[in-house]
């Protein structure tokens, strides 16, 4: 498949700070998820491919065309920025119709497109309210609306799900999936693995300005599985619990926390451990008060991968 967006050896630094380091990536049709913790370089990459910044080294093209100072390329790109910023003194309708003027549409078409985009993001009935008075979720949705109102072939969404309530997230995820079925190319960033997982199986892991790994969900899952999980189990009898797990080959290490009631387990096979724990609780009647997994998050996975 031909790359829609092609970045080759991209590097970008801000003074002494390296924002992106020798990144090469080809984005194909469909949904690609850019996953990484805050400050990983996702937004920098998105700004480079939308011509908002110029790479210090490397090249970036969209459909074979350069993006820096090439306004024609933007007819086919919709961009939703991460920042919660707007022209605050206008209504949602005025914001959209105002921005749609920049595509050279006739007034009737501008109105039609704005109405359709606001309808898609469920803001039709609030279109005449000032953006200043919108809730965080509504602001996020109007930002998405301005990115899709001109029906772009390529949609680039920087953290579009942040600030949305669960229902809003579900609707937006469905909308993004619809883009895919319409044959569009979507590049979406997030620092939350389940959000990206819900959108696509094609993931690019970004960390400290570098692409750490890229592949489909099973591959990323494998990487995550390889990461030793730390699980804390607070129990009425942690020593009895520990005794039951002695000799279990899936467990790498067991320690007791300072409170004397919590058993801290390190394992590569989290699901196996939980399965056995359930059995132990049921068979031996050991009371478990709390189970937590402090490092079961993306940051921990990244730290593990970087350390590897």
Partner 1 sequence: MNTPRSIREIFGFFFFLGRRTGKTRVFALLGLIPVVLAVVVRIVLHGRSGDIAAVFTEILMVFFLQFYIVILALFYGTSVTAEEVENRTLSYLITRPLPKPAIVLGKYAAYALLMFAMVAVSLTLSFFVMNAARLREPALYLTFLSYLGVLGLGILAYTAFFTFLGTVLKRAILVGLVFGFGWENVIQYFPGSTQRFSIVHYLKSLLPYRPAPGGGGKGVALLLFRLEPTSTLLAVLALIGIGAAFLALACWLFRMKEYLYEE
In the bound complex, what is the minimum distance in angstroms from residue 69's beta carbon to partner 1? 6
Residue 260 CB, nearest approach to partner 1 (Å):
44
* Shortest distance (Å) from residue 291 CB to partner 1: 37
CA angle 91–94–117, rounded 5-degree value: 95
Q: How far apart are CA 146 and CA 148, in angstroms?
A: 6
In the block, tokens 């605050």 appear at 88
List residues binding partner 1 (CB under 8 A): 14, 50-54, 69, 71-75, 77, 79, 81, 83, 85-87, 89-90, 94, 98-99, 101-104, 146
* Alpha-carbon gap, residue 65 to 264, rounded angstroms: 54
With respect to partner 1, which residue has the nearer C-beta, 58 or 98? 98
**Which of residues 85 and 246 has its CB atom nearest to partner 1 in the complex?**
85
Structure tokens at 144: 């998405």
Residue 74 or 179 having the CB closest to partner 1: 74
CB of 115 to partner 1, least distance (A): 18
| Cα separation, 201 vs 199, whole angstroms | 7
Q: Which is nearer to partner 1, 99 or 175 (CB)?
A: 99
Please, which residue, 94 or 237, has the CB nearer to partner 1? 94
Residue carrying the six token digits 């009371």: 287
Least Å distance, CB 99 to partner 1, is 6
For residues 198 and 221, what is the distance between their CA atoms, to the nearest angstrom?
14
Q: Which 3 state secondary structure label does DSSP give 128?
A: coil
């Amino acid at each position: 498949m031909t790359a829609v967006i092609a970045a080759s050896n991209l590097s970008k630094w801000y003074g002494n700070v390296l924002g992106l380091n020798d990144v090469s990536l080809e984005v194909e049709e469909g949904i690609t998820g850019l996953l990484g913790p805050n400050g990983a370089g996702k937004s920098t990459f998105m700004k480079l491919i939308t011509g908002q910044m110029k790479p210090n080294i490397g090249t970036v093209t969209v459909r074979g065309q350069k993006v820096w100072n090439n306004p024609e390329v933007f007819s086919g790109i919709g961009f939703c920025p991460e920042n919660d910023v707007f022209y605050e003194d206008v209504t949602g309708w005025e914001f959209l119709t105002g921005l749609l003027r920049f595509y050279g549409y006739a007034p009737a078409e501008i109105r039609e497109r704005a109405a359709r985009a606001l309808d898609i993001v469920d803001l039709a009935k609030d279109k005449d309210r000032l953006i200043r008075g919108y809730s965080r979720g509504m602001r996020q949705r109007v930002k998405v609306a301005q990115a899709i109102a001109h029906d772009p072939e390529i949609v680039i969404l920087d953290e579009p799900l942040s600030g949305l309530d669960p229902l809003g997230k579900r609707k937006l995820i469905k909308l993004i999936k619809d883009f895919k079925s319409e044959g569009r190319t979507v590049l979406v960033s997030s620092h939350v693995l389940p959000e990206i997982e819900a959108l696509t199986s094609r993931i690019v892991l970004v960390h400290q300005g570098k692409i750490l790994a890229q592949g489909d969900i099973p591959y990323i899952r494998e990487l995550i599985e390889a990461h030793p999980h730390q699980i804390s189990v607070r129990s009425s009898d942690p020593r009895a619990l520990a005794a039951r797990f002695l000799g279990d080959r899936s467990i790498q290490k067991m320690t007791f926390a300072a409170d004397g009631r919590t058993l801290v387990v390190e394992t590569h096979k989290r699901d196996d451990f939980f399965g056995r724990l359930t059995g132990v609780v049921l068979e031996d009647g050991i009371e478990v008060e709390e189970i937590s997994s402090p490092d079961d998050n993306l940051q921990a996975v990244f730290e593990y991968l970087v350390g590897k």
